Structure 1
Amino acid sequence: MCAILLVLALCLMALPFADAAPVAGTSIGNQASATYSDSSATVRTVTSNSVVTIVQQVASLTLGSNGAKQVSLGGLVTYPHTVTNTGNGNDSFNLSTSNSGTFSFLTVTIYADVNGDGVPDSTTPITSTGSIAPGGTFNFVVVGVVPPTAVAGNTNSLVVTAASALTPAVTASNTDTTTVSGNAVINVTKSIDLAAGLAGSGPRTFTLTYTNTGNSTATNLTLTDVIPSGMTYVGGSGRWSGSGATVLTDANSADNQSGIVYDYAITLATRVTAVIASVPAGASGTLSFQVNINGGLAPGANPATLNTAQFSYNDGAGVIPAASTNAVQFVVTSVGAVSVTGATVASATQGSTVSFSNLVTNTGNGSDSFDITLGTSTFPTGTTFVLYRADGVTPLVDSNGNGIPDTGPLAAGTSVTVVLKAILPAGVSGVGPFSIPKIATSRLDPTKTASGNDILTAISANTVDITNNAPSGVGALGVGAGPEVTAVATNTVVPGATTRFTLYASNGSTTADTFNLQASTSSSFASVTLPTGWSVVFRDLNGAVITNSGVVNAGGNALVYADVTVPVGSSASTTDLYFRALSPVSGAADTVHNAVIISGLRGITLTPNNSGQAYPGGSVVYRHTLTNSGNVVEGNGTTGQVSFAVSNTAPGFAATIYWDKNNNGALDASDPIVTSTADFTGGTGGASTAAGLDPGESAVVFVKVLAAASATPGTVDTATLVATVSGTISGVSPPSAVSATDSTAVIPGQLRLDKLQALDAACDGTADTAFSNVNITTGALPGACIRYQITATNAGVADVTGVIVSDATPANTTYHATIAAATSQGSISAPSGGTAGTIQATVGTMTPGQVVVVSFGVRINP
Structure 2
Amino acid sequence: ASGTGNNAIVDSGDEVTITLTYSSTGLVSANNYVVRDILDGRLNYVANSATWSDATGPLGEANAANATDQTNGGGQTIAWSYDNAQTLQFILSEVPSGRSGSVTFKATIADGAPAGIIPNTATQTVDGAAFPDSNTASVTVDEQFSLEIDDTKINLDGTRDGTVASATDTDAAANDVVTDNADVYQGATIPFEFVISNTSNVTDSYTLDVNNVDFPAGTTFRMVAEDGATPIVGTVGPLVSGDAVKVTLLATLPTDVTPVPTTEYTANVVATSENSGTFDSSTAEYTGAVLASAIDLENKVAGSEGDGAAPTNGGLPWVTQTTDPGVAVSFPMNVENGGTTSDSFNLELAQAIPAGWTVEFQTLDGTVVSNTGTIPAGGSKDFNVVITPTEGYPPSDNPIDILVSSAVTGQSDRIVNQLTINKVVDVAIEADQEAQAAPGGIVDMVHTVTNNSNVAITEGAISQSGLTDFSGAIYWDANQNGVIDATEVIVDNFDDLVDGVAAGTNGLAAGDQISLIYRVQTPSSATPGLSEIGTIALANTLNAGADIDVDTADNAVNDKVVIVSGDVTLTKMQYIDPLCTGAPGTFTKNRLDVEPGQCIRYQIEAENTGTTNAGNVRIRDVAPAYSTIHTCGGACTYSVYPAEPASSVTITGTTADSFHNTVLPGDFARLEFTVKVSE
Flag whether TM exceeds 0.5 (same fold).
no
Question: Which one has a bigger Cα radius of gyration?
Answer: 2
Higher relative contact order (CA 8 A, sep 6+): 1
TM-score range, shorter chain: 0.3 to 0.5
